Amino acid sequence: MKRNVLCTLAFDGSAFHGWQRQPNAFTAQQAVEAAVLRVTGENTPVVGCSRTDAGVHARMFCCHFRTQSAVPCAKLPAALNFYLPDALSVQCCEDVPDAFHARYDCKEKTYRYHLRNSRTRDPFLLRRAWFEGAPMDAALLHAQAQDFLGTHDFSSFCAAGADTKTAVRTVRRFEVTRESDDVFFTVAADGFLYNMVRIMVGTLTDIAKGKRPPGCIPGVLAAKNRAAAGLTAPAAGLFLWAINY
């Protein structure tokens, strides 16, 4: 009988063209599936909790796969990591019920966006933050971000051409904080649309720069049109931060 194994990963997205398997680019899913094949001898699909764009990082990413291998979960991380690139690491593994699904059983995801608010670049953050020299009032941004809370149609905050059945999502928490030159946008929701967090961040920074008036978010939501929102913040600053089941 096959086991269903849940793995928790962390990866540097700059090394991969996103999570989802692609025919002409190297992705995190392909790396994990190749490692599973080497450890178990089985060519089995690995199902992720989310699709991430090229360059987006994950502090916590969950995936599951089915296997007949007898390797215990306590030893699987070390075995898989031996065959994985340095930019990706399995943190832990556990046996889960056969019906468990890493994507569909997810109750909440938390993303964190890192904006470096400085006129000088930090070379150690070049692939892990968005550098923005214009002043960012974190208190203002936090207050404006509260208009995202609740259940809304987020069509204005979804990349054009995205294939989704519904744009309705529930945002449960949105915090904007500052630590010295670093501004962090932390948002938790029951799910996210394609580029949703990056567009929300881009729209909020437009408010900080005076390109949009405070209080504009409800109107942008009501428009249900991508053209009504701001720019899409760069992928490098985005981290999938936590998954709750």
pLDDT at res. 165: 85
Burial class (CB in 10 A: 0-12, 13-18, 19+), 5: buried
Give the Cα separation of 195 and 56 in Å (integer): 11
Domain boundaries along the sequence of the chain: 3-96, 108-244
> Residue 1: which pLDDT band, with cuts at 50, 70 and 90?
confident
pLDDT at res. 33: 98
3-state secondary structure of 174: strand
Distance, CA of 22 to chain centre: 18
Model confidence, pTM: 0.94
pLDDT at res. 20: 94
The pLDDT of 149-177, averaged and rounded, is 93
**Residue 159 confidence (pLDDT) above 80:** yes
Residues 65 and 44 sit within 8 Å (Cβ to Cβ)? yes
pLDDT at res. 18: 95
pLDDT at res. 103: 95
pLDDT at res. 30: 97
pLDDT, one tens digit per residue, over 100-146 is 999 999 999 999 999 999 989 899 999 999 999 999 999 999 999 99
User: What CATH number does the domain located at 3-96 have?
Assistant: 3.30.70.580
User: What CATH number does the domain located at 108-244 have?
Assistant: 3.30.70.660
**Residue 163 confidence (pLDDT) above 90:** no
Q: With the C-alpha atoms ordered 73, 64, 98, 105, is the resulting torsion angle positive or negative? A: positive
pLDDT, one tens digit per residue, over 74-90 is 999 999 999 999 999 99
Q: Which residues are catalytic?
A: 53
Q: Which residues neighbour 115 within 8 Å (Cβ) at sequence distance 6 or greater?
A: 129, 130, 132, 136, 182, 183, 184, 185, 201, 205, 233, 237
Give the Cα separation of 108 and 100 in Å (integer): 15
Dihedral of the alpha carbons of 119, 122, 126, 128, in degrees to the nearest 10: -100
The pLDDT of 13-35, averaged and rounded, is 96
pLDDT at res. 164: 80
Q: Indicate the average pLDDT of the chain.
A: 96
pLDDT at res. 162: 72
Between the alpha carbon of residue 36 and those of residues 9, 49, 175, the distances in Å are 13, 17, 37
**Residue 70 confidence (pLDDT) above 90:** yes
Instruction: Output phi, psi for 50, to 5 deg.
Output: -165, 160
Share of the chain above pLDDT 90, in %: 95
pLDDT at res. 27: 97
